[in-house]
């Protein structure tokens, strides 16, 4: 029987570990956050263009936000208008309050009752303006995020 011993020495392991720790910290730092902010601005711009418009408050209410929670960085684009979700996702048929429709109906040459009856029969059709804005910018978003990660890793 022969004594086949293998000896292995790893150099630079501590430095590599420090570099990886720094990369993980930087992935929640300014460079990455700026990439995410740029991505949310692209989606915000197109969502405002695609949003349904009557008087403009929905379009004006679409805003971007970048949030860090623990290890996650989230880019959020949305609206604080109560009816934004119904416009984005649509609704099942329901009977809306007539008072909420009166001004809109008058401006469009109809009655609140007729509009409410249509919503009660068919619901509200989804507009998907936020989803479309995201999908239109997906390649650019990927480039922005990949660029930020690449700059962080190459430091």
pLDDT at 142: 96
User: Could you tell me if residue 53 is left (phi over 0), alpha (psi between -120 and 50 degrees) or otherwise beta?
Assistant: beta
Query: Do 57 and 75 fall into the same domain?
Result: yes
Determine, yes or no, domain membership for 7. no
Determine, yes or no, domain membership for 85. no
Above 60 in pLDDT, residue 1? no
Query: Do 25 and 97 fall into the same domain?
Result: no
Domain of residue 117 covers: 91-124
pLDDT tens digit sequence for 78-124? 999 999 999 999 999 999 999 999 999 999 999 999 999 999 999 99
Number of domains within the chain: 2
Above 80 in pLDDT, residue 2? no
Determine, yes or no, domain membership for 98. yes
Query: Do 38 and 112 fall into the same domain?
Result: no
Query: Do 63 and 118 fall into the same domain?
Result: no
Lowest mean pLDDT among 6-15, 62-71, 127-136: 6-15
Relative to beta strand 72-78, strand 63-69 is antiparallel
pTM for this one?
0.81
Query: Do 118 and 134 fall into the same domain?
Result: no
Query: Do 110 and 74 fall into the same domain?
Result: no
Query: Do 19 and 62 fall into the same domain?
Result: yes
pLDDT at 25: 76
> Percentage of the chain with pLDDT > 70?
99
């Amino acid at each position: 029987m022969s004594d086949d011993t293998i000896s292995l020495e790893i150099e630079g392991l501590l430095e590599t570990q420090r570099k990886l720790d720094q990369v993980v910290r930087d992935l929640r730092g300014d460079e990455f956050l700026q990439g995410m902010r740029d991505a949310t601005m692209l989606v915000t711009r197109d969502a405002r263009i695609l949003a349904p418009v009557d008087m403009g408050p929905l379009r004006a209410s679409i805003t971007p936000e970048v949030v860090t929670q623990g290890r996650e960085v989230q880019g959020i684009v949305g609206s604080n208008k109560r009816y934004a979700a119904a416009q984005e996702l649509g609704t099942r048929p329901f009977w809306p309050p007539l008072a909420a429709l009166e001004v809109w109906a008058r401006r469009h040459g109809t009655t609140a009752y007729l509009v409410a009856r249509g919503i009660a029969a068919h619901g509200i059709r989804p507009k998907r303006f936020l989803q479309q804005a995201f999908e239109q910018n997906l390649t650019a978003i990927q480039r922005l995020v990949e660029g930020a990660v690449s700059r962080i890793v190459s430091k």
